[in-house]
Amino acid sequence: MRIASPATLSFSRALTSSSSSAAALAAQFARHVDTTSVVSWNAAIADLARAGDSADALRAFASLCRLHLRPDRSSFPPALKAAAALASLRDGRQLHLLALRLGLLPDLFIASALVDMYAKCRELPDARRAFDESPHRNVVLWTSMVTGYINNDASRDAIFLFKDFLAEEGGVGIDSVAAVAVLSACSRVSSKKVAGGVHGIMVKVGLEMDVSVGNTLLDAYAKGGDLSLGRKVFDAMIERDVVSWNTMIALYAQNGLSADAMMLYTKMLSSSGIQHNSVTLSAVLLACALAGALQNGKCIHNQGRVHVFLVGDRKHPQHKEIYNYLEKLRVRMQEAGYVPDTGSVLHDVDEEEKETALRVHSEKLAVSFALINTAPGTTINIIKNLRVCGDCHLAIKLIAKLVDREIVVRDSHRFHHFKNGSCSCRDYW
């Protein structure tokens, strides 16, 4: 472990806080808590770390030390969490050294916090040493190390460590958190053999029925393109949530089985307690696009129905209201200075015809429909299977400002969040 031994353990220098700020924090707490009590300081450190005030959490720990109080096993985990949140390797090492000198490293919660801190500081060798040097290990410590590998793109190491865990403890104590962590690693490796092996372990320890485990296993097979095993996992799940349905629908769509994707979507709509979301619609749009069922299509949902719009569409039952409202919007837009971007029309026609064609683009129809069918202030969500054109992008920015709404459009390139006359893409997409 690369820890430099300081001449003293003065955390007013070792931690990110200056001595003056640490002293000020101590004075502030003195008015509210018993500053002679380690328990009170531990509660303050934990509350600050939990609230995301990481720097102040470290200052509180420094103040505890400046008052010549002895940190205990409850002082270190939140302080290490704060160091991890700040990615402050220096502070983390100093905390590690003090815990070592106080003889607290055998504590499993401190060991897990150390592993997590080093991993988040991208110091995997030190994280592994902290793991290896712990005299006792439980599922929390194993999971911390596995997750550290995964978050640092070392998926194969995560899988090998998980196998060591099984060999050492026989799978006893494996919970859904550990299972999801290692299955996430499998999906990154994209190895059917490895995913299948872990699947077998999940069955052995009785976790294959867990919704989060099932979803992660399904995702692992989906990323590996294994449709048959993915469907077996899906069918075996006693409980399914929207993630389960979305993943299976997307798996069918990605494998070109659009009809199966649509049939499963229909079944999802009839399932009790399951509400589709924007991810569902994205998967359905992909299936429709691959089947040639949508050309320049637009889908929005109103809360359990899907509405599809094509360019110049007049098949929607509300098409008269949609066009009337769109015309009113056009007048307001022109008064606000809107000039159609006719360069978005590729046809060789005169300017007047180009402007007419732009007025009935599917995304404008979708926005108009949403505005007359949703309550004021409601965010509008639109999904498009092609790139949004320049004129529609310009128009929707202006509409969002005029009607004081947030309009979210997902096209084939990215999400566009329109609000107050601007877009999250900053006009580059």
Lowest mean pLDDT among 27-41, 110-124, 299-313: 299-313
Best-predicted range by mean pLDDT (3-7, 90-94, 208-212, 332-336): 90-94
* Mean of pLDDT values over 24-40: 69
Best-predicted range by mean pLDDT (2-16, 297-311, 361-375): 361-375
Report percent pLDDT > 90 for the chain.
31
pLDDT given at position 225: 74
Higher pLDDT, 353 or 287: 287
Angle at alpha carbon of residue 384, lines to 381 and 386, rounded to 5°: 155
pLDDT given at position 54: 94
> In angstroms, how far apart are the furthest CA atoms of the chain?
84
Confidence of residue 102 (pLDDT cuts 50, 70, 90): very high
pLDDT given at position 31: 60
* Mean of pLDDT values over 99-127: 95
The partner residues of 380 in beta bridges, in order of sequence, read 407
* pLDDT of residue 295 exceeding 90: no
Phi/psi region, residue 349 (left: phi>0; alpha: psi -120 to 50; beta: rest), is beta
Measured CA to CA, the distance from residue 49 to residue 52 in angstroms comes to 5
pLDDT given at position 378: 78
pLDDT given at position 32: 58
pLDDT given at position 254: 83
Q: CA–CA distance from 199 to each of 161, 196, 221, 222, 229 (Å)?
A: 16, 5, 10, 14, 10
Summarize the chain as % helix, strand, coil (round to 5).
Answer: 60, 5, 35
Lowest mean pLDDT among 85-89, 107-111, 176-180, 246-250: 176-180
* Mean of pLDDT values over 76-105: 96
Higher pLDDT, 188 or 129: 129
pLDDT given at position 188: 64
* Mean of pLDDT values over 132-144: 86
pLDDT given at position 47: 92
Confidence of residue 2 (pLDDT cuts 50, 70, 90): very low
Q: Is the dihedral of CA 232, 235, 241, 245 positive or negative?
A: positive
* pLDDT of residue 150 exceeding 60: yes
* Mean of pLDDT values over 182-186: 65
CA-closest candidate to residue 319, choices 309, 334, 328, 329: 309
pLDDT given at position 226: 78
What's the Rg (C-alpha) of the chain? Answer: 28
Q: DSSP secondary structure string, 41-56?
A: HHHHHHHHHHTT-HHH
pLDDT given at position 21: 61
* Mean of pLDDT values over 90-119: 95
Confidence of residue 133 (pLDDT cuts 50, 70, 90): very high
pLDDT given at position 18: 47
Total residue length of the chain: 429
Q: pLDDT tens across 229-274, in order? A: 889 889 888 888 999 999 899 888 888 887 788 788 878 876 767 7
Higher pLDDT, 274 or 406: 406
pLDDT given at position 375: 76
Report percent pLDDT > 70 for the chain.
77
Alpha-carbon 201 to chain mean position: 27
